[in-house]
Amino acid sequence: MHSLDASFSALADPTRRAILARLALGEATVMELAKPFDMTQPAVSRHLRVLEDAGLIVRRAEGTKRPCRLAADGLDGIDDWLALLRRALEPNYARLDDVLANMEPKPRTRTRKEKP
Amino acid sequence: MHSLDASFSALADPTRRAILARLALGEATVMELAKPFDMTQPAVSRHLRVLEDAGLIVRRAEGTKRPCRLAADGLDGIDDWLALLRRALEPNYARLDDVLANMEPKPRTRTRKEKP
C-alpha cells in the first residue's frame, strides 16, 4: 500500500489529474501524453514519476516505449480512508449527530440507594 | 465548489487527516482537538484553516468557541472526480482495455466495389 500522503499529494496537481483522466481512456506512452498537454516529454515524465511513486499508475516495457496505465489498486487506500468520512456524512448519521449536539445535559439520576 | 487542488492538498497531510477522522465522530472545539493530538492551539488552528478553505470542515460560533464539524458536501467534488477513475478501473472495463491493447491491427477489408 502506498502512503496516503503521496497519493493525495499526487492528486493535488491539475496536470497530474488531467494525465490520470487521459489514462482512464486507456494506456498511453509519454509521447502520446505530451502532445495534447502541450508539454515537453521530460515534464510529462516528471509527473508520471510522481504518479508512479504514489501507486496511481503502472508502466510496462514495450521495446523502447514504456506505456502507462492506471494501477488497478491505485485508489484502494484512498477509498478506504474516504469511506470513514463518508459514513460520518451519511444523512442518518449527521441527523443523529445534530440531535446529540442539541441535547441539553440532564442532571444524572441517582441510582444509589438513599438508605444504605 | 472548492478547488480539487485545495481539497487533495489538504488531505495530503497526516495530522489534517487525523483531525478529520476525529471530526467524523462528532463536532469538536480547537481545545478539544489540541489535547489528544498534543499540539498547541495555534498549530491546530492553522490546520483547521486549511481544512476550512478546502471546504472539508465548517465552523459555527458558540459564544467564544467555534466548534468544527465535517462539511456535509466536503467530499462531493473529490467523489465526482474519483468516480471517473473508478469506472475505468472496474474489472469489465479493465478486461476490455486488455483485449484492445493486445489486438493485432488487422488489414482493413475493402468495401469499395472492385469494378465501379
Radius of gyration over alpha carbons of chain B, in Å?
A: 25
| CB contacts, 8 Å: B70 with chain A | 85, 88-89
List beta partners, residue A57: A70
Across the interface, do A89 and B74 touch by the CB < 8 Å criterion? yes
Model confidence pLDDT, tens digit, residues B58-71: 999 888 888 999 99
What is the rounded CA–CA span in Å between residue B87 and residue A107? 53
The predicted pLDDT at position B36 comes to 86
What is the rounded CA–CA span in Å between residue B103 and residue B116? 33
| CB contacts, 8 Å: A50 with chain B | none
Model confidence pLDDT, tens digit, residues A51-68: 999 999 999 988 888 899
Residue segments in chain A with a per-residue pLDDT below the cut of 50: 111, 113-114, 116
- Is A23:A68 a contact under the CB 8 Å cutoff? yes
- Is A72:B91 a contact under the CB 8 Å cutoff? no
Instruction: Write the ipTM.
Output: 0.77
- Three-state DSSP at A57 gives strand
Residue type, A6: A
A72 CB-side CA count, 13 A: 8
Across the interface, do B26 and A101 touch by the CB < 8 Å criterion? yes
Establish, for the pair of chains A and B, how many residue pairs have beta carbons separated by less than 8 Å.
Answer: 86
| CB contacts, 8 Å: B89 with chain A | 70, 72, 74-75
Mean pLDDT (whole number) for B101-116: 55
Mean pLDDT (whole number) for B20-33: 93
Nearest-CB residue to A75 (from B14, B85, B97): B85
Mean pLDDT (whole number) for B71-92: 87
Across the interface, do A24 and B85 touch by the CB < 8 Å criterion? yes
What is the rounded CA–CA span in Å between residue A71 and residue A59? 9
- Is A4:A81 a contact under the CB 8 Å cutoff? yes
CB atoms within 10 A of CB A18: 14
Model confidence pLDDT, tens digit, residues A95-108: 666 666 676 555 55
